[in-house]
Structure 1
Amino acid sequence: MTTFGRRRTVWLAALIVAANGFIPAIWILLTSLKTESELMRMPITIMPDAPTLQNYVRVFVDQPILTFLWNSIAVAALSTALCIVVSALAAYALVRLRLPAPGAILSALLAVAMVPLISLVVPLFQTMRTLDLLNTWPALVLPYAVLSMPVCVMVLVSFFQDIPNDLENAAMIDGCTRAGALWHVVIPLTAPGVFTAAILAFVNAWDEFLLALTLSSRVAKRTLPVGITLYQGEFSFPWPIISAALVVAIVPVCVIIAVFQDRVVGGLTSGGMKG
């Protein structure tokens, strides 16, 4: 294949991926600006005839979406912080300490990541009920952190391997402990990888539905994905209102990715070059 052909193939693949991500989001946004009668009208129209923000008003009036939003932000942020701390320690141990069969440990982590989530629901529910943690943030923070750890550890291992031992040795000669060398030398030098792992953990916790539905039955403790289901009735699905709620749920993640775009892209690019 010629260089032009390869370039055209890459652009075509990128266009397909972009369309797969953007078209559903644009469709949801346009749906949120329609009335329910317009949405049900045939033939289907793409653009709303008379865009309205009434659906967004009802999103904040009909259900306590600010409570759902706060729960999601708190749970995702806490689980991400816990996941990154533990993953950084685990990745550092696999790279720097003389552990037996580090490759086998990474393979085991990958195997754990492939376990279907639905198979863990009953054991987690029983565990949280025994610990009296149902309908609390820790009931979600702890599982989310653990579920994201395998991917975060593998991401951080690929970055830690490129940090020369001499830098840590120099820091320890100057008085740093090994933990101090990790936090003051290794982590700053691998900031793109840390941000990449953090974004992956945060999005995983933000989007999770099954555990949030199972472990939080009280309305005041529900996260945004579960709270959005409350907008539907027993026999009705107000899609414009649900679409408006989905837009509200998408915005925080878009803001985070936009703010940390350079670091995330740098981390993904570096990881791809290493791979």
Structure 2
Amino acid sequence: MMARRWGRIGFGVLVAVIIIYSLLPFFWILRSSLESSAGLSQPTSTFWPIGITLSHYRDLFAEENFLRPLINSIVVAGITTCIAVVLGSLAAYALSRLPVKGRMAVLGFVLLVSFFPQIGMVGPLFLIFRHIGWLDTYQSLIFPYLILSLPITTWILTAFFAQIPVEIEEAAMVDGASIIQTIWRVFVPLALPGIFTGAILGFLLSWNDLLFALSFIQSPNMFTVPLALVNFRNAFYIHYGQIDAGVVVASVPIALVVLFLQRRIEAGLTAGGVKG
């Protein structure tokens, strides 16, 4: 009994250490974003910020016009996520329900594509986008992001859809439901946890990318959040305070999306419970 209690305490301490270690970088970014420029210029740093101020956040939107990169990232990541979820769901449903020949080979190829290095795509995609006039546009980012997010979404949804018993759909059709009604009213509610998981990963891949944005975007009014952050500098000074404030602001939508989808995933798991 005592050994079990000490085991629980040790496990709790380990979890606490991991959580603190994971949150420490974000805490330091938040701390630096609230510190005055004089404090940031000091050769040494203290645990708490020196001269707490919100001037970096004010300058972020007043001088750097950070709202525009936020809108660009939301548009690009949102469109990419929607397309990836729709196409990935259709492909995953076919791979998990239809007698597709070479199913494992297809899934293996999908997984292989997701591991392909991004830097190897930049050159060919740049030549294609320049030829068709897509440079410095939303589609120059959406298309590459689909290359990254669609395979991951398809792989995850295929594995998740395969766990849903096909007898549920057959029972719905026996009761008179059409194929469309069965998919929309029976299958989709059960598949919501997997769909939202794929949406989270697709959104994160699109939101955090810097390489494609750096390669295909040139106009400041088309900058995404990561590209805007690396350009908070001039010939003589790097605006560390504004960069830290921008990182905090850019992390808020991600945190909200993850929290929102986490609740939906829990609700989907509860609604998708099937009694044996």
After TM superposition, the score normalised by the length of structure 1 is 0.88
- 1:1-275 correspondence runs (5 A): 11=12, 14-173=15-174, 174-177=176-179, 180-264=181-265
Shift of 1:261: 2.2
Larger deviation: 153-162 or 210-219? 153-162
Residue type at the aligned position of 1:116: P
Q: Distance in 2 between matches of 1:170 and 1:208?
A: 44
> 1:175/1:65 Cα in 2 relative to 1: closer, same or farther (>3 Å)?
same
Shift of 1:101: 2.0
Q: Distance in 2 between matches of 1:154 and 1:109?
A: 7
The CA deviation string for residues 80-129 of structure 1, in whole angstroms up to 9 with x for no partner, is: 00000011011111111111121121111111111111111111111222
Asked whether the 8 Å contact 2:74–2:207 carries over to 1, the reply is yes
Asked whether the 8 Å contact 1:34–1:48 carries over to 2, the reply is yes
Q: Distance in 2 between matches of 1:150 and 1:266?
A: 26
Asked whether the 8 Å contact 2:31–2:49 carries over to 1, the reply is yes
Residue type at the aligned position of 1:261: Q
Q: Distance in 1 between matches of 2:23 and 2:266?
A: 18
> 1:26/1:127 Cα in 2 relative to 1: closer, same or farther (>3 Å)?
same
User: Structure 2: which 5+ runs fail to align?
Assistant: 270-276
Residue type at the aligned position of 2:89: A
- Displacement over 4 Å in runs of 4+: 2-13, 264-268
Asked whether the 8 Å contact 1:95–1:157 carries over to 2, the reply is yes
The CA deviation string for residues 14-39 of structure 1, in whole angstroms up to 9 with x for no partner, is: 44542343111110000001122212
Q: Distance in 2 between matches of 1:196 and 1:224?
A: 23
Q: Distance in 1 between matches of 2:236 and 2:72?
A: 28
Identity of aligned residues (%): 33
The CA deviation string for residues 110-154 of structure 1, in whole angstroms up to 9 with x for no partner, is: 111111111111111112222211111111112212211222112
Q: Distance in 2 between matches of 1:205 and 1:111?
A: 19
Helix, strand or coil at the partner of 1:52: coil
**What is the count of residue pairs matched by the alignment?**
266
The CA deviation string for residues 195-249 of structure 1, in whole angstroms up to 9 with x for no partner, is: 1110111011000111011111111111111011221123322211110111111
Helix, strand or coil at the partner of 1:230: coil
Asked whether the 8 Å contact 1:59–1:245 carries over to 2, the reply is yes
The CA deviation string for residues 177-202 of structure 1, in whole angstroms up to 9 with x for no partner, is: 3x553333222111111111101110
Q: Distance in 1 between matches of 2:60 and 2:137?
A: 24
Asked whether the 8 Å contact 1:79–1:141 carries over to 2, the reply is yes
Q: Distance in 1 between matches of 2:268 and 2:172?
A: 24
After TM superposition, the score normalised by the length of structure 2 is 0.88
Helix, strand or coil at the partner of 1:125: helix
Q: Distance in 2 between matches of 1:3 and 1:100?
A: 51
User: Structure 1: which 5+ runs fail to align?
Assistant: 269-275
Larger deviation: 106-115 or 179-188? 179-188
Asked whether the 8 Å contact 2:196–2:264 carries over to 1, the reply is yes
CA RMSD of aligned residues (A): 2.2
Shift of 1:71: 0.4
Tell me the equivalent position of 1:271. Answer: none
Residue type at the aligned position of 2:121: L
Helix, strand or coil at the partner of 1:142: helix
